[in-house]
Structure 1
Amino acid sequence: MEDTENLTKVCHNCQSEILTSNHYCNYCGQTQNAEEIETAGFKWSNLQQLALFFVVQVLLCITPAIIKENSIFFNLSLDVVMAITTLIFFGYSWAENKYLLKWPAFSLKKLLLFIVIASLASVIVQYLVTHLNLILWNKTQSYYDTFSGHPYGKYLMILSIAIFPALFEELAYRGYLMQKLINIFDEKQAIYISSFIFFIMHFSLISFFWLLPFAITLGFIRIREKTIWYGVIIHFIFNLTACLYELVDYDELQHLLNSLQ
């Protein structure tokens, strides 16, 4: 049997011959676990980028509460700022993120199935959330209240609630964030961590029962399909259905109130 204790290697720094068991060079003192150091440095760099991403997202999410502004202009401006920051982060790591914009093995049947499931799930969630709000706080929350005074309020609501989040939240959380996490953790851990961050960024405890499972499902689909586009479509249909559900209820409520006057 070969005596592994006496095997030698060359120091990657000074090229002196040292034992393979040595972690440091006897001549120059340079550490010999260069690969481990490189890996640790890579992970540390990703952690720093993740920390910056998290701070930026928190600041953007708490801005409405700090400024206490809920106008159409403010909401759309915040949407644009979030979109721009997402594109900056995603573009900064373009080399490792660009494959997510491809759509390998596209399946129309699969897409239609996802659309149907997303629509049905959204209706169920909206119904349950409405009743939970009534039970817990004796009131309902309406996205449309912010946009109702504008002649194109319904379209602006769909833009702000369905289109912008579907595209840019998927780019941010299932795109940039999850990819950075995969560089540090395994895929399942990346899914759960990114999903939890996605949930807490919405600052809505009542949404826990559906928002976290929703994010986890999108995470698994992104990993399995190697693209964010299924997630973008699912997210869009889910939010669009929520908008239409609310608009129908809102119109019916207005009609009822007008009939009582």
Structure 2
Amino acid sequence: MDKENLSFKLCQNCQQEILLSNRFCNHCGKSQLEIDKQVHENKWLSLQQVALFFTIEVLCCASSFLIEENNLFTLYFLDAVMAISAIAFFGYSWIENKIILKWPNFSFLKLTWLIIATILTSVVVTFLVNHLNRDLLHKDLSYYSIFEFHKYGRYLMFASMALYPAIFEELAYRGYLMQKLLTVVDEKEAVYISSVLFFIIHFSFLSIFWLFPFALFLGYLRIKTKTIWYGVFVHFFFNLTACFLDLYPLEDLYKMIF
């Protein structure tokens, strides 16, 4: 029979080409039905783990809105729970996850340009968000308000609003979550799904115009560079710029300079 008229597939055990109709691999001898069943079970387990992880994330984020009076203790307690959750889930699948903690083909020039572009983007986004809040919600959004009573309020704000998300949100969403999704869907779908989930946990529909594209970019960066570290730096400098502009608004900086 002409080989061109036959349909082939790859054995999921040894990755050798076999006939689509074969129940056993003629190279390694593995049963294709057993392998397909195991693959299906592994995918279902990955989805269950993703669901459990995301449920914990949603409960923590929702709790901050349900608590009538937020304070630093509440903020750091919920941050700690989410950080521990991210580390625990990431560590549970350490063998498959540890590879993204490496930094292959590190480029200082690429990192520098990414940081510059991130800072400029954050300035524009902060300007637009402030105007939307004033025009639509008739209020000023301030990150510093919850920290200002503390002696080291500014440092605490930078740690909570810039450093913490850069490390633990990237570890959680572009790290653990995306690695799990890649065992179930392709790269493009993993980027979109992780970005949607990342947007949801922020509970801010008004932020969709920048937060969802930002998550998509971080996801793309993670897939393209095969590491979370570029995303960590981008996330950190984006939030750091927003915190700095919260302390020193653009209008005040303009008056100081001119």
Q: TM > 0.5 between the two?
A: yes
Matches of 2:82 and 2:240 in 1, distance apart?
19
Change (3 A) 1:162 1:22: closer
1:122 match: 122
Matches of 1:250 and 1:123 in 2, distance apart?
9
CA offset digits 1:105-158 (Å, max 9, x no partner): 000000000000110000000000000011101111111000011110000000
Matches of 2:32 and 2:93 in 1, distance apart?
29
1:62 match: 62
Larger CA Rg, structure 1 vs 2 = 1
Q: CA deviation at 1:83?
A: 0.8
Corresponding position: 1:204 with 2:207: no
Change (3 A) 1:127 1:44: same
CA offset digits 1:183-242 (Å, max 9, x no partner): 000000000000010001100011000000000001011001010000000000000000
2:181 match: 181
Matches of 1:32 and 1:247 in 2, distance apart?
61
Q: CA deviation at 1:78?
A: 1.5
Q: CA deviation at 1:82?
A: 1.1
Normalised by the length of structure 2, the TM-score is 0.85
Q: Which runs of 5+ in 1 are unaligned?
A: 3-19, 24-30, 254-261
Percent of aligned pairs with the same residue? 55
- Which range moved further: 31-40 or 212-221? 31-40
Q: CA deviation at 1:68?
A: 2.4
Change (3 A) 1:241 1:32: closer
Equivalent pairs counted in the alignment come to 229
Where in structure 2 are the equivalents of 1:1-261 lying within 5 Å? 1=1, 33-249=33-249
User: Runs (4+) of structure 1 moved beyond 3 Å?
Assistant: 20-23, 250-253
Counterpart of 2:150 in 1: which secondary structure?
A: coil
Amino acid at match of 2:195: S
2:27 match: none
CA offset digits 1:164-199 (Å, max 9, x no partner): 000000000000001111000000000000001000
- Which range moved further: 42-51 or 60-69? 60-69
Change (3 A) 1:145 1:33: same
Matches of 1:218 and 1:249 in 2, distance apart?
26
- Which range moved further: 74-83 or 234-243? 74-83
Q: CA RMSD in A?
A: 2.0
Change (3 A) 1:184 1:22: closer
Q: CA deviation at 1:250?
A: 10
